[in-house]
Structure 1
């Protein structure tokens, strides 16, 4: 059991921040005018990323107090304990070692008598060998056909990470090899995911650490039946057994359950209890991605993760980007009243990145008790959300610009597009990526500096409309740029937000690595299920609202 968390509200730094909050009146226009060095002082490299925090709502006093807070609650000490493999996930008595998944071969780390890095690379080599077999056609289906479609069956961290990365790295995929992702227990998801696929050329990856996740196992059984029906095999026949062995592999450590399902345990790729689901993209959970982009590119992804890990481990606090961004989020949440946080990638390839971050951040820090079981002494967590620019500009940016709520926003962009195109019209050639980035730059500028009533009037605006066209500015943003969205850069982005989440969790004194909040609903679903099917005793156990909803369902369900 690790030491009790420091109560952040009892620290001198918190007292100082509270005093600074009183009467805090950010003025980014004045700050930039009075301090031409501000952009340079608050822009930092982190691996291949350039992170501009100059449009944040902090001055030097606030920043100093935030860094003092990190020191007083022991962020660096807890970071180092995590990296050493100490059991900082106290409610599950586990180490937290997702960072070990991307350490280079030979970087030994012994935990409980095992070199976990050696264990990681043993599994990685098996995943890579399998990926190569699928990619080069050595691995075939039951009829000898080459695999052309891979369906990853998982939910939560076994789905969100792989699908996000598969979409993000579209330019690196192998031609003629498609991946699809099945997660929701809604039968519509299975039906639409399988639509148009050829059973003879489809491989299924069942991703479940325990091989007991309700949604994943239900969908796996549906896919198994779809496969056997498509190949014309009776369940239980020798042909069916062979087909399942040829068309199903597993990412799981429950080899007995894997075998019971019909998957050869030799085709199961394991991971460890010190890998949380939302931190597992870079484990064997990424097998579908390794197949899609190849082992070499997957290794580049891991190297990107590790580069950000090293930045977080070694950079001095005043230039440590994950630390600074995590502390800024604490400032916005606990002192300036922000409740949500927007992530706005100016890259269509990252259209699933905000959804991925929702699980990473909200499952990690959506807690009301600290890691010693005592109540949290502060507000915790943020609601993460977002969409790619420029789509979001035509949807919800209105609230961010002129609404009454403070919404800190992270803008992400790349100097080089994955698909460079030009627009030829009226005798002009427009670089579409430059048009795109002009929007990226304009939005953070508008949010920071706004437009005064005098500036609006100077445009000749009718006086009655002037108030509606005023932008207050002082809306905080962070700008993250990189040369291009490569596998390495994607790894750096994911690791950046992992460590931001970690920093906030340490400040709030919560265990960011358990997820008990997802358990109760799953437990109750097992109790409600029989009531839906007509079990009178189970129905009687439900509350009045649930009984009424079940009655409505039974009345309207067509069989």
Structure 2
């Protein structure tokens, strides 16, 4: 990867000059002055997805400078480096090969003189055999009954990914009930345990190191409760407990048999692990055939990212547009609104992919950055958000670039629900772009005045409050339908957007040392909390908080 400060590049300087010329240009004018704007700024992917980025505050010149910025960073070469397994996770000296987990074409993927394709293939075979056995009721619990429930115990990437996907693909769900436990708060375990019968439940403990405090604490609690049941032997754990990890020694120490161990690898980051055995709960929920289609969708986007020229490369364009707003318009946040209730966890999932990856302030040259890196990502399903925070988008003082995503065809054809949902989708992107001018407000006012002139007088003074400036940028994604295949495409697309941003922002996207800091400090404080004496070890605030806890603990 090329390491240089983006703000020193020729393209960045050109973008800065260009921004001063375009910053006050309205989307209304951009569309009026170019009747071919949509054609210029939209792309199709496999005749499945239409990507429209024409409602952005940019021109062909903007894209010219942004694409030159990508070229100055040798983005294409960086993409190839990732696919070749080079150690681009520099601070941890690791390759970044989650893309290999969904590569069906290659028969050889060599890493450290080992063919990891064979390892991946073997794990996929194990997932297939096990998920088929459970779904087909051939796998029995210790009482001889078939499995009815699956509980995935993990946190971060070991929870957010599989949880989001099983929710998004509920239309493909079989008879198994799949639950997720992540939070260290005992309430989470308690509430899930109310829903299951341990005699017919299997537990998937998902932790890369098998030492993650939240996951192992929750797993240990459940293990104790399981072993405390009447007539349960320790050997019965083999029918109910399974591990997804790279630390086999800790798995065996926990009491899980080697046969129930599903390996993952250090070249797969947690937030990119949904494609690995971490996705076992997905395969159990929707069946291995659909899980395979999910992987194939992602693989299709991988090929697009690797082989498509930058100017037609959807993840690259998304990443560049995000950099444009974050650094030149100082937008700081961006939103993702999916108009599909099954996808209600999608923006939450992408928060980790984006913010854990690119929330960095040290560049690849070990310098503190003086530019914006990761933006704050948030979102809510449409149309719920329209009756909540969209008011701020339409008339607030913040610039919030937004991605709007909707399936053309719904899984639930109930009356006219979906066509109404589509009408809101199209209306919002149009309204955010073009707003409501004072001319339109007055025209509407005069029309109403004629209708109501005999009944009451309309207050002329309120017209100004109805003004919506518009000029809020959006990207639109129209998908034919949310399927395992299209969902795979969509997730991989955003993964590669993050990669693009990381390369150009000159940061390392695949470590998370900030997360590690919180863990280590928590371990130190845990020992202090077990001590009954009041503390003076820390700063005055932390000491006071800890001591208040100790004095009021029941």
Q: CA deviation at 1:240?
A: 2.8
Greater CA drift, 366-375 or 217-226: 366-375
Greater CA drift, 518-527 or 102-111: 102-111
Can you list the C-alpha shifts for 1:177-204, whole angstroms capped at 9, x where unaligned?
1000000100011101111311100100
Matched, 1:332 2:325: yes
1:425 corresponds to: none
* Unpaired runs of at least 5, structure 1: 234-238, 423-430
1:492 corresponds to: 489
Q: CA deviation at 1:271?
A: 1.1
Confirm or deny: 8 A CA contact 1:88 1:95 kept in the other structure: yes
Task: State how far apart, in whole Å, the 1-side matches of 2:511 and 2:379 are.
Answer: 25
Q: CA deviation at 1:262?
A: 1.0
* Unpaired runs of at least 5, structure 2: 446-457
Task: State how far apart, in whole Å, the 1-side matches of 2:396 and 2:107 are.
Answer: 50
Aligned ranges 1:71-470 → 2 under 5 Å: 71-104=71-104, 106-175=106-175, 177-229=176-228, 231-233=229-231, 239-422=232-415, 431-460=416-445, 462-470=459-467
Task: State how far apart, in whole Å, the 1-side matches of 2:500 and 2:106 are.
Answer: 28
Confirm or deny: 8 A CA contact 2:2 2:74 kept in the other structure: no
3-state secondary structure, aligned to 2:361: coil
Confirm or deny: 8 A CA contact 1:457 1:463 kept in the other structure: no
3-state secondary structure, aligned to 1:281: helix
Q: CA deviation at 1:535?
A: 4.9
Q: CA deviation at 1:265?
A: 1.3
Q: CA deviation at 1:289?
A: 0.5
TM-score, normalised with respect to structure 2: 0.96
2:450 corresponds to: none
Task: State how far apart, in whole Å, the 2-side matches of 1:301 and 1:107 are.
Answer: 20
1:236 corresponds to: none
Q: CA deviation at 1:161?
A: 0.1
1:6 corresponds to: 4
3-state secondary structure, aligned to 1:272: coil
3-state secondary structure, aligned to 1:147: coil
3-state secondary structure, aligned to 2:478: strand
Task: State how far apart, in whole Å, the 2-side matches of 1:49 and 1:276 are.
Answer: 27
Can you list the C-alpha shifts for 1:474-501, whole angstroms capped at 9, x where unaligned?
1000001111000011111100100110
Greater CA drift, 247-256 or 82-91: 247-256
Q: CA RMSD for the aligned pairs?
A: 1.3
TM-score, normalised with respect to structure 1: 0.95
Check 1:524–1:253 CA distance in 2 against 1; reply closer, same or farther (3 A cut): same
1:549 corresponds to: 545
Task: State how far apart, in whole Å, the 1-side matches of 2:186 and 2:500 are.
Answer: 39
Q: CA deviation at 1:105?
A: 5.3
Check 1:62–1:4 CA distance in 2 against 1; reply closer, same or farther (3 A cut): closer
Task: State how far apart, in whole Å, the 1-side matches of 2:203 and 2:542 are.
Answer: 36
2:498 corresponds to: 501
3-state secondary structure, aligned to 1:459: helix
Confirm or deny: 8 A CA contact 1:162 1:288 kept in the other structure: yes
Task: State how far apart, in whole Å, the 1-side matches of 2:127 and 2:144 are.
Answer: 21
Q: CA deviation at 1:4?
A: 5.3
Can you list the C-alpha shifts for 1:346-397, whole angstroms capped at 9, x where unaligned?
0001100010000000000000011232222411111100000000000111
